[in-house]
């Protein structure tokens, strides 16, 4: 049996679109899909966030919870304010809760992004019903495969790995695939 890592708790300074602060502990028993993004990252706006919205429409909220995580690691002045993020979410009609990742020391990688060792944005994270980190994808993943992976986690009654967390290399800067610090 592989050694499954417990997903680090989210370190969020504020939640938008949520009546109260959200914790992974409070979501135990459900599959959690986290879309980590920056509002000025083209690959997030064009691919990652629309996919997260489709996930939210496809799966029952009792089984699968979709969360956004705003992980600003560049252009802090431009996209690091609550008001900017709020306007962005409003215009794009994203209805899932979005947490603002706690800024790192001296403007570096924010806390949750660092705890999950994310390479950049967009990053998609899957957490199982027992609160374990099961998948972390930097860049894009096809809908067909993502649908299968989420379903596999919802069907689990006992822990079995759907695959090793994906670890790869990301060059700094933004491409259509995503932005890396």
Q: Among 4, 18, 84, 177, which residue sits at the site for its own copies (rule: CB under 8 A)?
A: 84
Q: Does 55 bind its own copies (CB under 8 A)?
A: yes
Q: Which of 142, 167, 168, 171 binds its own copies (CB under 8 A)?
A: 142
d(CA 137, CA 120): 10
Q: Decide: is 32 part of the binding site for its own copies (CB under 8 A).
A: no
Backbone angles phi, psi at 116, to 5 degrees: -90, 0
Nearest to 163 by CA among 33, 30, 4: 4
Query: How many residues bind its own copies, per CB under 8 A?
Result: 39
Q: Which is nearer to its own copies, 127 or 152 (CB)?
A: 152
Options 28, 75, 117, 164; binder of its own copies; rule CB under 8 A: 75
Asked if 148 is part of the footprint of its own copies (rule: CB under 8 A), the reply reads: yes
Footprint of its own copies (CB under 8 A): 40-42, 45-46, 51, 54-55, 58-59, 74-75, 77-79, 81, 83-88, 90-92, 142-152, 155, 174, 179
């Amino acid at each position: 049996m592989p050694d499954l890592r417990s997903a680090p708790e989210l370190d969020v300074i504020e939640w938008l679109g949520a009546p109260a602060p959200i914790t992974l502990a409070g979501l135990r028993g459900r599959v959690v899909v986290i879309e980590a993004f920056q509002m000025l990252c083209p690959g997030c706006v064009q691919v990652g966030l629309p996919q997260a919205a489709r996930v939210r429409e496809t799966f029952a909220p009792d089984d699968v919870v979709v969360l956004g995580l705003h992980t600003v690691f560049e252009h802090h002045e431009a996209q690091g304010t609550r008001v900017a993020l709020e306007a962005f979410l409003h215009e794009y009609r994203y209805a899932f809760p979005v947490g603002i990742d706690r800024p790192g020391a001296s403007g570096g990688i924010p806390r949750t992004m660092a705890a999950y060792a994310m390479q950049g944005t967009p990053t998609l994270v899957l957490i199982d019903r027992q609160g374990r980190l099961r998948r972390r994808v930097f860049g894009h993943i096809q809908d067909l495969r993502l649908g299968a992976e989420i379903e596999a986690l919802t069907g689990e009654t006992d822990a079995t790995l759907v695959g090793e967390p994906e670890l790869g290399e990301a060059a700094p800067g933004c491409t259509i695939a995503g932005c890396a610090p």
